[in-house]
Amino acid sequence: MGIAQYLKEIGRGKQGARDLDRAQAADLFGQLLDGGVTDLEVGAFCIAMRVKGETPDEMAGFLDATHARLHRLPASRRPTVVLPSYNGARRLPVLTPLLALLLAREGLPVLVHGTPTESSRVVVDAVFAPLGIAPRGTLQAVAGGEAAFVPTALLHPGLERLLQVRRTIGLRNPAHSLVKLMNPVDGPAVLVGSYTHPEYALSMAAVFERTGATALLLRGTEGEAVADARRLPQMDGFVAGRRVPLSEGQRGTVTDLPGWPEGTDPAATAAYIRAVLDGREPVPPAIALQVAHILRLATQCTTSEHAT
């Protein structure tokens, strides 16, 4: 079905719009990714979905289309930890690189993927740069004990195009949620998904279940996939789509964070990360707990693979 017909279904407003089934959603999103639609049609899709909201089945269909087209990284010997980084820092330091390097230190391959979609935030590669990690220009397997950063455009230019629509219309669209749910690796992976609002915890969990993902889901730092060091958030796990208990959140704010950098300056954030990795500053408890949970999921992911 052509995109105009889909737009008639999803573009009738909050009350009149019709939800798509998974196959229809995959067909629609595939047309968007393939670039055969006009900028006007892309904008109409983004606005319509912003008003209607996407269902878990629609998001699963969008993922089906994306996974069928992604330029994926080859599988590594161990499950790859996938950290999407699209929000960046507004008020707090971007500590996604700290999480990535702590996991790499445990011997896991770690893939961070992302792209800036607005100019007012500090993005992850600005912190990776002073740590000596440059964006990759080719899609190679990530070695165990290595943290790599891959720009989204390398994974799929059409997906990058959808993300950049935000610069024009100032609003998020389903692609911004999709990138936090996708697996860019041609093999086993532990996806780390984060949300900013509680309702997204339910919808993202439903998608992980429908797609059979192995994943950790938490309320991250300003939308980043790293736990907020000032709190102990709830963390939920999934192994092949099956929910596994991890940890309940705790109320209150952690105030004892030695060396915690004020603001979002990339150089100061990188210096703090070095201090933690060198043992001169302690690992924040919330991030240490997140690392432990991801290691557990990676082990269960391997066990699940062998069982099948």
Q: What is the pLDDT of residue 306?
A: 42
Query: Cα(228)–Cα(90) distance, rounded to whole angstroms?
Result: 13
Q: Tell me, what CATH number does 45's domain have?
A: 1.20.970.10
In this structure, are 80 and 55 located in the same domain? no
In this structure, are 57 and 102 located in the same domain? no
Domain end among 46, 69, 92:
69
73, β-bridge pairs: 185
Task: Look at residue 150 and give its three-state secondary structure.
Answer: strand
Number of Cβ within a 10 Å radius of residue 40:
8
Q: What is the mean pLDDT of residues 246-273?
A: 85
Query: How many residues are given for the chain?
Result: 308
219, β-bridge pairs: 195
Whether the pLDDT of residue 244 is over 80: the answer is yes
Domain end among 27, 54, 69:
69
| Residue environment code for 227-241, b if the CB has 16+ CB neighbours within 10 A, otherwise e | bbbbbbbebbbbbbe
In this structure, are 193 and 209 located in the same domain? yes
Number of Cβ within a 10 Å radius of residue 191:
26
Query: Cα(238)–Cα(213) distance, rounded to whole angstroms?
Result: 7
Query: Cα(285)–Cα(82) distance, rounded to whole angstroms?
Result: 21
With a CB cutoff of 8 Å and minimum separation 6, the contacts of 18 are 9, 10, 12
Residue 229 DSSP one-character state: T
Query: Cα(58)–Cα(211) distance, rounded to whole angstroms?
Result: 12
Quote the tokens at residue 253. 């704010």
Whether the pLDDT of residue 283 is over 90: the answer is yes
Query: Cα(208)–Cα(213) distance, rounded to whole angstroms?
Result: 5
Query: Cα(43)–Cα(112) distance, rounded to whole angstroms?
Result: 28
Q: What is the pLDDT of residue 4?
A: 94
Q: How many domains does the chain have?
A: 2
Query: Cα(302)–Cα(299) distance, rounded to whole angstroms?
Result: 5
**Tens of pLDDT, residues 202-234:** 999 999 999 999 999 999 998 899 998 888 889
**Tens of pLDDT, residues 106-153:** 999 999 999 998 888 889 999 999 999 999 999 999 999 999 999 999
Q: Tell me, what CATH number does 192's domain have?
A: 3.40.1030.10
In this structure, are 166 and 45 located in the same domain? no
**Tens of pLDDT, residues 91-111:** 889 999 999 999 999 999 999
In this structure, are 223 and 288 located in the same domain? yes
| Max CA distance (Å), the chain | 60
Domain that holds residue 260: 73-307
Whether the pLDDT of residue 47 is over 80: the answer is yes
Positive or negative CA dihedral for 17, 21, 27, 32?
A: positive
In this structure, are 104 and 229 located in the same domain? yes
Task: Look at residue 2 and give its three-state secondary structure.
Answer: coil
Query: Cα(281)–Cα(268) distance, rounded to whole angstroms?
Result: 14
In this structure, are 145 and 125 located in the same domain? yes
The Cβ-side half-sphere exposure at 86, using a 13 Å CA radius, reads 25
In this structure, are 97 and 242 located in the same domain? yes
In this structure, are 103 and 64 located in the same domain? no
Number of Cβ within a 10 Å radius of residue 200:
17
Task: Look at residue 19 and give its three-state secondary structure.
Answer: coil
* Cα-Cα end-to-end distance for the chain: 36
**Tens of pLDDT, residues 289-303:** 999 999 999 998 865
In this structure, are 111 and 187 located in the same domain? yes
Number of Cβ within a 10 Å radius of residue 50:
14
Whether the pLDDT of residue 252 is over 80: the answer is no
Domain end among 69, 90, 108:
69
In this structure, are 60 and 182 located in the same domain? no
In this structure, are 168 and 298 located in the same domain? yes
Q: What is the pTM of this model?
A: 0.94
φ and ψ of 89, to 5 deg? -110, 130
What residue type is assigned to position 33 of the chain? L
Q: Which of 298, 243, 304 is CA-nearest to residue 104?
A: 298
